[in-house]
Amino acid sequence: MPTWLELVIRIGGVLVAFLTLPLIVGQAEHKVMAHMQGRLGPMYAGGFHGWAQLVADGIKFVQKEDITPREADRAVFRLAPVVALVPYLLVLLVIPLGPGDLVGQPLDIGLFFVLAVVGVGVVAVLMSAWASANKYSLLGGLRGAAQLLGYELPLVLAAASVAMAAGTLSLGGIVEAWQPWWLFWQAPAMIVFFVAGLAEIRRPPFDMPVADSELVFGYMTEYTGLRFAFFLLAEYVGIVVIAALTTVLFLGGWQGPFADAQLGWLWTLLKVFAVSFVIIWLRVSFPRLREDQLQRLCWLVLVPAALAQLVLTAAVRLTLN
């Protein structure tokens, strides 16, 4: 196969995943929240079980007027939603769906690349907050920056633990080195990574930067129409990315109860959707954390737990070697 054709197929596959998986997660969130909280509205659009709810939402966003505040920095204001989306697209390029060639672009330093790119999200938050010329947006952006910069540390430390256990920074290599007993050995790191990941994508109960009860909608207050939809799409892509990284790093990726490598992609997707369901479940179950509670959880709980897990991983590695 020519190199250019292989490249087109790989990038096309990643784009399809980028455009479809978040919509599936969004549809699932509508249904899960409707059942858990007795919301009747999302169960009627289109007839059978509200299958057309996302279609209705899309039409609604397209019809909304695109407004840019008079005092806003127009170029930065319009670019911010794109900056929020692009990092997640780049991350999906290196996350393996299965063994062999089922990855957009395999990298020997895939984990390093992922952690570096995910950190760009704080730039989009600050861009949208500052360029909006709105005090509520600015306050939400500053809260978001403080949250993202703080939770980067436990996220990186937890990922470093599993990378040390596997002896590689390659995401595919981590999956190949994974053993079922790691579910217990690396469980603290998995919990830290998962919680920090929720804070990184600003999902409830870590949605203080967009607290509607006090900040209108934070750094997204001035956005309308498709630009606002891009921010929402970035949130759902973030769910897919965090679920996929949790699956690859801590749940064995494509490894399943059967040795058939042909089903590896299926096991990966099943685990990703299972983790996504937990993320939706947490949104329904827990109230929003206050800013002091959010920072205390980060610095007094997650960071010490991640450091302790690193020490444990180093000790186990030395013992096994």
pLDDT at 225: 82
Specify the DSSP class assigned to residue 64.
S
274-303 residue pLDDT tens: 999 999 999 888 888 888 898 899 999 999
User: Given this model, what pLDDT does residue 64 score?
Assistant: 80
Cβ-based neighbours of 196, under 8 Å, separated by 6 or more: 151, 152, 154, 155, 158, 298, 302
What pLDDT shows up at residue 162? 94
What residue ranges of the chain have pLDDT lower than 70? 1, 41-42, 259-261
Domain span at 177:
3-320
Q: What share of the chain is helix, strand, coil (3-state, %, to 5)?
A: 75, 0, 25
Please state, in angstroms and rounded to a whole number, the distance separating the CA atoms of residues 9 and 6.
5
pLDDT at 260: 63
CB 169 within 8 A of CB 111: yes
pLDDT value at position 297?
Answer: 93
Structurally, how many domains does the chain consist of? Answer: 1
Instruction: Output the pLDDT for position 223.
Output: 87
pLDDT digits (tens, 9 = 90+) for 162-220: 999 998 999 989 999 898 888 888 999 999 999 999 999 988 888 888 887 777 778 88
- End-to-end, the C-alpha distance of the chain in Å comes to 42
